[in-house]
Structure 1
Amino acid sequence: MAFFQEYTRELIATGILGILLILFRIISTKLVRRYAKSNQTLEHRTNLVIKYLHLFINILVIIALIIIWGVQTKDIFIGLTSVTTVVGVAMFAQWSILSNITSGVILFFSFPFKIGDVIKIHDKDFPIEAEIEDIGAFHVYLKTIDGEKIIYPNNLLLQKGISILKDHFEHREFMD
């Protein structure tokens, strides 16, 4: 019983934070789903962005819990510095994964093209003209007129010039 008397403020703040966590997750999910519905975004892309937002919200709640329960600022900085160093080294080795995830989120919200569009990627060495079959977290899946399937990384898609062609392959005549 002494525990509850001694830590009443922290327990109340933790309860309030738990309620806020649930509310923020519900609100963010509804907002993303509303945005996706208005832009006719696929369900799996929507779920992926929701997972990213929930992860971010959970990290903020963990930081808030650390502050509420009175962990010393010095200890927080030591812990964060250690974790940041380890994560930084790991992410430096895996920068392309993080870059592709970030690009996938940007493609979700900026929505420059959609599944079914025929695009032309202006790459000096390897230009591509293909139809978008799917947009994933890491890659965009393309299909050329010859039936060749190309998996193109999201981060490269944002770095290259892209033209969205009006006509689909079925409507085009190719002359020799």
Structure 2
Amino acid sequence: MPLRWRTYLPEWMQNSLELLIPGFQIVLIIAGAILLHSMFKRVMKRAGNHYQFPHELTMPVTVVVRWLILLSAVLLVLERLGVSASVLWTAFTGFATVGAVAFFAAWSVLSNLFCAFLIFVVGPFRVGDHIEVLDTAEKLGAVGKVVDINLLYTTLEDSTAPAPGTLLQIPNSLIFQRVVRRWPQGQSLPENKQHTAIQALGESPAAPRPATFP
């Protein structure tokens, strides 16, 4: 019944429908994938501008979503071309297994990336702040000025190093496992947290005592 309208078409067109209909569906799938990817890029761009996300943070998310959309479009196209569902399911489970293994293998890297995203969204500190990363609130830890935050590390200019300019690179995941003491930008760092070693080196050394003999 639903295909009765075909009888009103010319015979040459009826033979072509077996190719035209799947071809039209494939074109729609490709166009939908391109449109979805374009919309997602716009959303990520607006979110990056609004929350001031760095390009290094939004780019991996965009790439992952792009590949997910591409993979979904390929599976739908193969289904329209007549590939059986069992073959598609086997291929999907195989890709999912490989992806799961790769995910656990790169968990430390991915955890740092996710923590970098949380740092930019939640804002426990910003570039220009002074922070101290502590094991506990009673023990001293790494202290310095935040000079950079990337996908893997938070970089501090060490405030207790013997010379200024010494950098500390702390994994982002470690930031969320430790107590963080913060001095916002514009607030001076306490003197006991600054370059005490430099001050000690700046003092003139005591003259050696002459040797005495009985």
TM over 0.5: yes
Asked if residue 12 in structure 1 is aligned to residue 28 in structure 2, the reply is: yes
Which residue in the other structure is 1:151 paired with?
A: 169
Q: Determine the C-alpha separation between the residues in 2 that align with 1:126 and 1:173.
A: 14
The more displaced of 83-92 and 144-153 is 83-92
Is the Cα–Cα contact under 8 Å of residues 111 and 173 in structure 2 kept in the other structure?
yes
Which residue in the other structure is 2:61 paired with?
A: 53
TM superposition score normalised by structure 2: 0.66
Q: Determine the C-alpha separation between the residues in 2 that align with 1:57 and 1:22.
A: 11
Which residue in the other structure is 1:34 paired with?
A: 50
Q: Determine the C-alpha separation between the residues in 2 that align with 1:55 and 1:10.
A: 23
The alignment of Structure 1 onto Structure 2 pairs a total of residues equal to 165
Which residue in the other structure is 1:76 paired with?
A: 88
SS at match of 1:115: coil
Gap change, CA 1:114 and 1:58, over 3 Å in 2:
same
| Greater relative contact order (Cα < 8 A, sep 6+) | 1
Q: 1:21 aligns with which of 14, 37, 44?
A: 37
Q: Determine the C-alpha separation between the residues in 2 that align with 1:33 and 1:106.
A: 16
Shift of 1:72: 4.2
The more displaced of 95-104 and 116-125 is 116-125
Shift of 1:162: 0.9
1:82-161 alignment runs, 5 A limit: 82-124=94-136, 127-145=141-159, 146=161, 147=164, 148-161=166-179
Q: CA RMSD in A?
A: 2.6
Q: Determine the C-alpha separation between the residues in 2 that align with 1:61 and 1:89.
A: 21
Asked if residue 168 in structure 1 is aligned to residue 182 in structure 2, the reply is: no
Shift of 1:67: 4.5
Is the Cα–Cα contact under 8 Å of residues 112 and 171 in structure 2 kept in the other structure?
yes
Q: Determine the C-alpha separation between the residues in 1 that align with 2:99 and 2:188.
A: 44
**AA paired with 2:34?**
G
Q: Determine the C-alpha separation between the residues in 2 that align with 1:168 and 1:21.
A: 46
**AA paired with 2:121?**
F
| Bigger Rg, which one | 2
Is the Cα–Cα contact under 8 Å of residues 14 and 68 in structure 1 kept in the other structure?
no
Instruction: Return 5+ residue gaps in structure 2 as ranges.
Output: 1-15, 201-214
Q: Determine the C-alpha separation between the residues in 1 that align with 2:130 and 2:174.
A: 17
The more displaced of 104-113 and 133-142 is 104-113
